Amino acid sequence: MTTEDTFTVEPWCLREPRLELDQLASTEAVLTVANGSLGVRGTLDEGEPVGMPGTYLAGVHELRTMVYTETGSGDPESTETLVNTIDGTAVRLLVDGHPLDVRTGTLLHHERVLDFRAGTLSRELRWRSPDGRSVEVTSTRLVSLDQRGVLALRYAVRALERPVEVVLQSGLVANTQQPHLPSHPSAVDLLEHPLEPQEHDANGRLTLVHRTLRTGLLVGATAHHDVESPAELDVHGEATPDHARFTVRAKLEPGESVTLTKLVAYAWSDTHELPALRDELAGALTVARHEGFDGLLASQRTVLDGFWECADVEIDGDDELQQAVRFALFQLLQATARAEGRAVAGKALTGTGYEGHAFWDTETFVLQVMTAVRPEVTRHALGWRHATLPAARERATTLDLKGAAFPWRTITGPECSGYWPAGTAAFHVNADVADAVLRYVDATGDEEFAREAGVELLVESARLWCSLGHWGRDERFHVFGVTGPDEYSALGDDNVYTNLMLQRNLRGAARWVRRYPQAAEPLEVTLDEVAAWEQAADAVCIPYDDDLGVHPQSAGFTLAPRWDFAGTPEENYPLHSHYPYLQLYRKQVVKQADLVLALFLRGDAFTDEEKLRDFTYYEEITVRDSSLSACCQAVLAAEVGLPHLAHEYVVESALADIRDPEHDSSDGLHVAALAGTWLALVCGFGGLRQVDDGLSFRPVLPDELPRLRFRLLFRGRLLRVTVEPGQATYELLRGEPLTVRHERDDLELAVGVPVTRPTRPRPRPPLPSQPETRAPGRGTLRDDSRPGTPASAGHHEQA
């Protein structure tokens, strides 16, 4: 974890004012620069010390055979695993023969800044070598948001009091040794030397080309160097199979500096052979050189200006939250901007956590945000899902089901989960994809996508549901033996979230088959099939506990014994690290919002009274051992009239990586939780819901925040919403007039005509309690910062 003051609180950047060596792995993830296609962890320029080096290309993976303790039919034989590819960041410095290493000599100053508007990671340090020579180093690193495969960096070293002889060694390095992170759950699975050398070259530019062993993917990097200095320079290049090196030697007088500019182009292919890859590398480098480092800096800012124009969220009254939501949005852009045709993984390209796999939360969390602030990335991401349909159809066949079964975890499409009760059985991923498709097309009017990919996604998923579910004696449509979002339950019957989401999927499929008959034709959809979807949707079973007046997460859930929270010491969280799943599954204990996520995403299916009762019930048994939970609880807390509690949850969600309270950011950021911060603010305090006939807002502000302002795109319009105590203002900044709903009123918005409406005061319900020691906190370790629980703070929401 990082401490409270690892980063200073500033609105537009993350500044690390001094180097915390014991947090290197975590800060590397947080300070990643990436564009969705290429991701480079925030390692130090000189490569050491390092937490976990990482340069990732979306889709570049290796296969790893899975060994089962007891085999079952249909178990995947292997898993895809993200490969650390060729490192282009390394610039080592020798100062009069002493290698610059922050652990030796004297580090006089060290600062790193991740700039959300510049799109750069910059570094500034002053160092005195063991023999007393001082230098100042400044470096700036970026992964272009404009050019898909380009990493650029500028590295300058200046002599301070005394003359120094410096040697800069800039490299491309393959098969970097991967340290085993203690926090990495599958550390044993890290691949050593996954890349087989194909070519290496140092004539003019540096080039390395490698091939992954089992997947046979070609991966190449090529680097161009420029050096500027008043001093006389010796330069030369050399290459071995795993290492290409460009060396500069200079003798600097005090005040003199040498500046190295390095442009690195990456390319990879699963279809092309070496000659084509060579050309692609050279072409990409030519474009990068044409633009130059300064040009790349400028276009970086242009992309970001455009992004913030549509995406920015402004928060008054909580500077830390302000910074966190911008960090979240910046990392979401970095995760998605140029991910064309590739999965957006749970850790994006910030680490090898989850082996680089993408999960359902990309659709449900990340794409929900991106659809609102940068919809083109949603189109690409859903295009990736569409491209995986052959694998999903094959998986359905393996499972003896119809249609397509999307994988629980994957990089390129095949199921990579080796533990199916919490993996494959979580069929809700299919409905989550369908939901993202419907939301995207509704929010953008992109009917071309609907026709080309959307219809097929909805139809194949609808077919899965019909083969998975069955009609019961009660003439309801049931889905037995599946796993919902909550990972502390598995193989339940009639999971409410799953059933409500599949209902949306079935209805959407039926609607779209009628709306886009030509797109449906090649899928051989029959009228009977459509009728069956609608019948199933209308009759889907939503279990209800009449005694308690709440919805069970799945049938019978509320009859199970409750977890012994009082007997669970705080150090035994997360529970799955201390208790077997056997016990977790049998009991009422919720890892993450499941029924509460249904309350959020299918709010139309519940009354306000049901929402309050359900939310209150699940608050008492939800432990938030998943970073996906707090944001959903924030949204519902706000909706049921508990904005203070919502604020607590928003903050917890927002600081999940900057503070790293669970010590688990080192192997990658919690990308969906970053998206959740936006959802919590905009759907929670902004009360935004995308409903059938447009956008609806029901704003509510906690007393802690005097003002919240956010922007979003909808059907070609750019909207800005400002929520203040007692009122909300809606502005159309761009586009044709639009009607939105504020609470119960329809507002006509036109550019230049802001509309302000009062927000109705809402009754404040009793404050629900959370399990012992699990009240929300400010993202720091709870025992450091929060001695009390809400129970001790009184049972009613405080002003």
> Would you name the residues annotated as active-site residues?
487
Residue of 56, 359, 420, 512 interacting with its own copies (CB under 8 A): 420
User: Rounded to the nearest whole angstrom, what is the least distance from the CB of residue 72 to its own copies in the complex?
Assistant: 5
Residue of 295, 472, 754, 765 interacting with its own copies (CB under 8 A): 472
Please choose, from the candidates 178, 214, 179, 181, the residue with its C-alpha nearest in 3D space to the C-alpha of residue 195: 214
Residue of 397, 583, 769, 789 interacting with its own copies (CB under 8 A): 583
> Measured from the CB atom, is 409 or 647 closer to its own copies?
409
Q: E strands within 272-369?
A: 313-316
User: Rounded to the nearest whole angstrom, what is the least distance from the CB of residue 579 to its own copies in the complex?
Assistant: 6
User: Rounded to the nearest whole angstrom, what is the least distance from the CB of residue 434 to its own copies in the complex?
Assistant: 21
> Measured from the CB atom, is 326 or 587 closer to its own copies?
587
> Measured from the CB atom, is 31 or 555 closer to its own copies?
555
Alpha helices in 359-495 (DSSP H): 360-361, 367-373, 375-387, 389-398, 428-444, 447-449, 455-468
Spell out the residues 6+ positions from residue 219 whose beta carbon is closer than 8 angstroms to its own. 57, 60, 83, 85, 86, 195, 209, 210, 211, 212, 266, 267, 268
Residue of 159, 431, 490, 673 interacting with its own copies (CB under 8 A): 490
Is residue 269 at the binding interface for its own copies, with CB under 8 A as the rule?
Answer: no
User: Rounded to the nearest whole angstrom, what is the least distance from the CB of residue 399 to its own copies in the complex?
Assistant: 6
User: Rounded to the nearest whole angstrom, what is the least distance from the CB of residue 167 to its own copies in the complex?
Assistant: 46
Please choose, from the candidates 552, 553, 540, the residue with its C-alpha nearest in 3D space to the C-alpha of residue 475: 540
User: Rounded to the nearest whole angstrom, what is the least distance from the CB of residue 627 to its own copies in the complex?
Assistant: 18
Question: H or E stretch including 25?
Answer: helix 24-30
Q: Report how far residue 172's alpha carbon sits from residue 200's, in angstroms, rounded to the nearest whole number.
A: 10
Is residue 792 at the binding interface for its own copies, with CB under 8 A as the rule?
Answer: no
Query: How distant, in Å, are the alpha carbons of 359, 747, 751 from that of 730?
Result: 35, 9, 10
Contact present, 706 and 724 (Cβ < 8 Å): yes
User: Rounded to the nearest whole angstrom, what is the least distance from the CB of residue 79 to its own copies in the complex?
Assistant: 8
Residue of 418, 445, 694, 706 interacting with its own copies (CB under 8 A): 418
x/- contact string, 511-550, with its own copies (CB under 8 A)? ------------------------------------x---
Question: H or E stretch including 533?
Answer: helix 527-539
Q: Report how far residue 487's alpha carbon sits from residue 15's, in angstroms, rounded to the nearest whole number.
A: 35
Residue of 162, 193, 214, 586 interacting with its own copies (CB under 8 A): 586
Contact present, 408 and 359 (Cβ < 8 Å): yes
Residue of 532, 542, 560, 751 interacting with its own copies (CB under 8 A): 560
Is residue 118 at the binding interface for its own copies, with CB under 8 A as the rule?
Answer: no
In the numeric block, the tokens 């299918």 are attached to: 602
In the numeric block, the tokens 């699940």 are attached to: 618
Q: Report how far residue 605's alpha carbon sits from residue 502's, in angstroms, rounded to the nearest whole number.
A: 13
Kindly tell me the sign of the dihedral angle through the C-alpha atoms of 633, 634, 636, 640.
Answer: positive
The percent of the chain in helix, strand and coil, each rounded to the nearest 5, is 35, 25, 40
| Part in contact with its own copies (CB under 8 A); list of ranges 81-89, 237-245, 479-487, 704-712 | 479-487
Residue of 580, 761, 763, 787 interacting with its own copies (CB under 8 A): 580
| Part in contact with its own copies (CB under 8 A); list of ranges 114-122, 447-455, 558-566, 679-687 | 558-566
Is residue 607 at the binding interface for its own copies, with CB under 8 A as the rule?
Answer: no
Contact present, 392 and 49 (Cβ < 8 Å): no
Helix pair angle (608-619, 629-639), 10° resolution: 140
User: Rounded to the nearest whole angstrom, what is the least distance from the CB of residue 154 to its own copies in the complex?
Assistant: 43
In the numeric block, the tokens 């009613």 are attached to: 796
Whether omega before 522 lies within 30 degrees of 0, making that bond cis, reads no
Residue of 50, 209, 555, 671 interacting with its own copies (CB under 8 A): 555
Within residues 697-736, the interface with its own copies by CB under 8 A covers: none
> Measured from the CB atom, is 72 or 761 closer to its own copies?
72
Question: H or E stretch including 140?
Answer: strand 134-143
> Measured from the CB atom, is 415 or 797 closer to its own copies?
415
User: Rounded to the nearest whole angstrom, what is the least distance from the CB of residue 576 to its own copies in the complex?
Assistant: 6
| Part in contact with its own copies (CB under 8 A); list of ranges 372-380, 471-479, 635-643, 790-798 | 471-479
b/e map of 441-450 (b: 16 or more CB within 10 Å)? Answer: bbbbebeebb
Size of the site for its own copies (CB under 8 A): 53
Residue of 94, 491, 733, 747 interacting with its own copies (CB under 8 A): 491
Residue of 581, 663, 709, 727 interacting with its own copies (CB under 8 A): 581
Contact present, 172 and 182 (Cβ < 8 Å): no
User: Rounded to the nearest whole angstrom, what is the least distance from the CB of residue 581 to its own copies in the complex?
Assistant: 5
> Measured from the CB atom, is 138 or 583 closer to its own copies?
583
Residue of 203, 271, 518, 577 interacting with its own copies (CB under 8 A): 577
| Part in contact with its own copies (CB under 8 A); list of ranges 287-295, 477-485, 702-710, 789-797 | 477-485
> Measured from the CB atom, is 268 or 354 closer to its own copies?
354
Please choose, from the candidates 12, 747, 785, 754, the residue with its C-alpha nearest in 3D space to the C-alpha of residue 329: 12
Spell out the residues 6+ positions from residue 283 whose beta carbon is closer than 8 angstroms to its own. none
x/- contact string, 50-79, with its own copies (CB under 8 A)? ----------------xxxxxxxxxx---x
Q: E strands within 595-667?
A: none
> Measured from the CB atom, is 470 or 795 closer to its own copies?
470
DSSP 8-state code for residue 412: S
Is residue 569 at the binding interface for its own copies, with CB under 8 A as the rule?
Answer: no
Residue of 419, 515, 542, 786 interacting with its own copies (CB under 8 A): 419
Structure tokens that stand for 70 in this block: 């007891």
Residue of 12, 480, 516, 544 interacting with its own copies (CB under 8 A): 480
Q: Report how far residue 26's alpha carbon sits from residue 173's, in angstroms, rounded to the nearest whole number.
A: 22
Contact present, 285 and 296 (Cβ < 8 Å): no
| Part in contact with its own copies (CB under 8 A); list of ranges 170-178, 264-272, 472-480, 707-715 | 472-480
x/- contact string, 363-402, with its own copies (CB under 8 A)? -----------------------------------xxxx-
Neighbour-count burial of 299, counting CB atoms closer than 10 A to its CB (0-12 exposed, 13-18 middle, 19+ buried): middle
Please choose, from the candidates 731, 729, 770, 776, the residue with its C-alpha nearest in 3D space to the C-alpha of residue 751: 731
Q: Report how far residue 221's alpha carbon sits from residue 208's, in angstroms, rounded to the nearest whole number.
A: 6
> Measured from the CB atom, is 290 or 473 closer to its own copies?
473
> Measured from the CB atom, is 512 or 557 closer to its own copies?
557
Question: H or E stretch including 93?
Answer: strand 91-95
User: Rounded to the nearest whole angstrom, what is the least distance from the CB of residue 17 to its own copies in the complex?
Assistant: 38
User: Rounded to the nearest whole angstrom, what is the least distance from the CB of residue 720 to its own copies in the complex?
Assistant: 44
What residues make contact with its own copies under the rule CB under 8 A? 66-75, 79, 185-186, 398-401, 417-425, 470, 472-473, 478, 480-482, 490-491, 493, 547, 555-556, 559-561, 576-583, 585-587
